[in-house]
A and B are shown apart, each in its own frame.
Chain A
Amino acid sequence: MSLPVAVAMLLAGALAGAFAVRAVLPARSTAVSGLLGLCATLTLAAGLVVATEGTMDAARILGLLALLVGSVAFAAGVTVLAQGIGDRDRW
């Protein structure tokens, strides 16, 4: 992957993200914030790269730990968001 392609992908992502929340309803900002927190656990993909390709013990163990923390956050985030999304008083 060349640098111009990667930069173009980053810019396209940034534009799409700003477009998606351009007209967020004030009452929904907490829900969107929670969803962004959930999306942040996407860094477990990095943990996955590190865990699957780590050939040294220390690097592999750190990658697996990153994967563990990321997957705990992902599952808990999905569960809490799914439970709370219908509760209008809390959101």
Chain B
Amino acid sequence: MLPAEGAEGASLSIVALGGALLASAMLVAALHRTARRHDLTGIVLGASGILAALGATLFVHDVVNLPETLGILSVGTGTGYLLARRGTFPPPARLAPLLHLLGAIATLMACTAAWINPAAFGVDAASLPLVALASLCGIALVVAGLFGGGRAHRWLGAGSGAAAASLGFALGNPALILCGGIIGSAALALARRRR
């Protein structure tokens, strides 16, 4: 199911495992804190967890085009910050479906790239069904996010977690596997509670 040992980006290094464990611990602490307190600590922990996962990913994988990657990251974060500051983004209550929708679009693009050039990411024939599963989750999330009502929006988090975990299995990325499991199960528990 997973890329063969020795394939590009498939080996589990100490840095990858440490980054994934740090990111998941931060996400769990962020969810735990946000569930009970009215302060910024949970958001800071969650954002730091995502950055830890990104750092571990960047460290472990072969960086072919670092200037483009860092340039796109700078442009994207700057644009997101300016859009949110100007009030273009919806209020907090309607924010979650939009974030899941954007995450689903990013998932679909990553899956398409893996379909086009599977050898570059260590995706063998056995891993292609996982890429297909992530693609299906991404398509379902886009459809539910755009056309679904409040009831469908409650389950978007579970789909996002499943998509992230499937992509993690296919690409051999431990941070995506761990954090996808956390997001999916927490969103399922929350959706069941809000029914």
On A, residues with C-beta under 8 Å from B are 1-3, 5-6, 9-25, 28-56, 58-60, 62-88, 90-91
Interface size on B, residues (CB 8 A): 109
Cβ–Cβ contact A40 & B92, under 8 A: no
Cβ–Cβ contact B69 & A13, under 8 A: no
Using CB atoms, name the residue of chain B closest to A22.
Answer: B189
**New A-B pairs, 4, CB < 8 Å, besides A20-B27, A46-B168:** A6-B168, A35-B30, A45-B54, A48-B69
Cβ–Cβ contact A52 & B95, under 8 A: no
Say how far A14's CB is from chain B's closest CB, in angstroms. 4
Contacts A52-B63, A52-B69, A53-B121 given: A69-B96 contact, CB under 8 Å?
A: no
Cβ–Cβ contact B92 & A80, under 8 A: yes
Chain B neighbourhood of A73, CB < 8 A: 80, 98-99, 102-103, 106
On B, residues with C-beta under 8 Å from A are 1-2, 5, 8-12, 20, 24, 27-32, 34-36, 38-40, 42-43, 46-47, 49-50, 53-54, 57-58, 61-66, 68-69, 72-73, 75-81, 83-85, 89, 91-93, 95-100, 102-107, 109-110, 112-114, 116-117, 120-121, 156-157, 160-161, 163-165, 167-169, 171-190, 193-194
Cβ–Cβ contact A66 & B113, under 8 A: yes
Chain A neighbourhood of B183, CB < 8 A: 17, 36, 39-40, 42
Cβ–Cβ contact A68 & B72, under 8 A: yes
Cβ–Cβ contact A77 & B185, under 8 A: no
27 contacts between A and B (CB under 8 A): A2-B2, A3-B2, A9-B178, A20-B29, A30-B93, A36-B160, A37-B95, A37-B99, A38-B47, A46-B167, A46-B168, A48-B69, A49-B121, A50-B171, A51-B69, A52-B58, A52-B63, A53-B62, A59-B117, A67-B106, A69-B106, A76-B89, A77-B80, A77-B99, A85-B42, A85-B92, A90-B92
